[in-house]
Amino acid sequence: MKKPILPLLAALLGGSTIGGYAQVVHTELKGEGFVADFYCKAGAATKPAILFLGGSEGGRPDLHLPQFFAENGHPVLALAYFKEQGLPETLQLVPLEYFDKALAWLARSDRVPRGGIVVFGLSKGAELALLLASRKPEIKGAIALAPSSVVWDGMPKQWWPPDPKSSWSCGGKPLPFVPYDFSQAMAKGDPFAIRKFYEKALQQHAAVEQATIAVEAINGPILLASGHDDQMWPSETMADAICARLKAKGFTHHCEHLKYADAGHTLTEYYMMGGTHEGNQRARLDLATRMLAFLNGLVGKLVQRADAPAVPSASPATAVP
């Protein structure tokens, strides 16, 4: 499959703060039991920390968004979880226990405010972000861009012959997952061929029921964003399914689903997978404001803080009360 989202929202707002310039300290962490980069402003942090998860490109997450969040006052641990030395080569059966080490590091770091963290993920990382947040009560909020409502089949090095394995494992056992359906070949020249591949797999209703992420267990608010013209997978449909499940389960926290009509999977004009240039640009710029507003809403709830700078916001497309 095509390598998605490496520069998702890259150079967001020119890589600078909404409130002004701020120096960011970047540290490559070693010997902690995980592979990650830590970004933070010099001085004491007062805003919630972010566990940042990249997508199916693997390796260390691209620096643009972690730096953007850090410039706006949030310590960020940008975590690799496969395709790095010492980590799984492919996105198959990645153990959830691995992420415990990163969460524990954030909990004890003197550069991270007490009171909980927020998890951020995009595409495959959004699937992981929601999954972790549903299992880890210390995670107090989630931002999931181009999300999935289910656990998917993994992404092997060789796609044929099929070798169905869950993307994630826990306690040495694979998590229930939705397998790919290879019964029909992808139509050549169809820009939505990969998306239709995922849509067909979602027709396996028994597997979907078993693999649905228990988002109602998330211990804080959720921000979802999707592009209507997503060419990778049906993120808008899956985000709607997340909202419907939250409402049905009586979710007590707030959830927003931001829908961008003319945007694609990446929600940026720098690397488009669906949508128009203008639509993706609007999505990228709007998301910058919306994500900071979401995070700013947690200030004072997760950490003690005397002041909080105002961040412009706009009304959500979909809200779950």
97 exposure class (CB count in 10 Å sphere: 0-12, 13-18, 19+): exposed
pLDDT attached to residue 45: 82
In terms of C-beta distances under 8 Å and separation of at least 24 residues, what long-range contacts does 184-192 make, across chains too? 191/231, 191/274, 192/231, 192/274
pLDDT attached to residue 232: 97
Q: What is the pLDDT of residues 167-186, one digit of tens each?
A: 999 999 999 999 999 988 88
> What are the residue boundaries of the structural domains of the chain, listed by start?
12-320
Q: What CATH topology corresponds to 12-320?
A: Rossmann fold (3.40.50)
pLDDT attached to residue 302: 65
| CB neighbourhood size of 206 (10 A) | 8
State how far the Cα of 65 lies from the Cα of 70, in Å rounded to an integer.
8
Q: What is the pLDDT of residues 132-141, one digit of tens each?
A: 999 999 999 9
0.85 surpassed by pTM: yes
Q: What is the pLDDT of residues 86-111, one digit of tens each?
A: 999 999 999 999 999 999 999 999 88
Q: What is the pLDDT of residues 36-46, one digit of tens each?
A: 999 999 877 88
Confidence of residue 51 (pLDDT cuts 50, 70, 90): very high
pLDDT attached to residue 18: 43
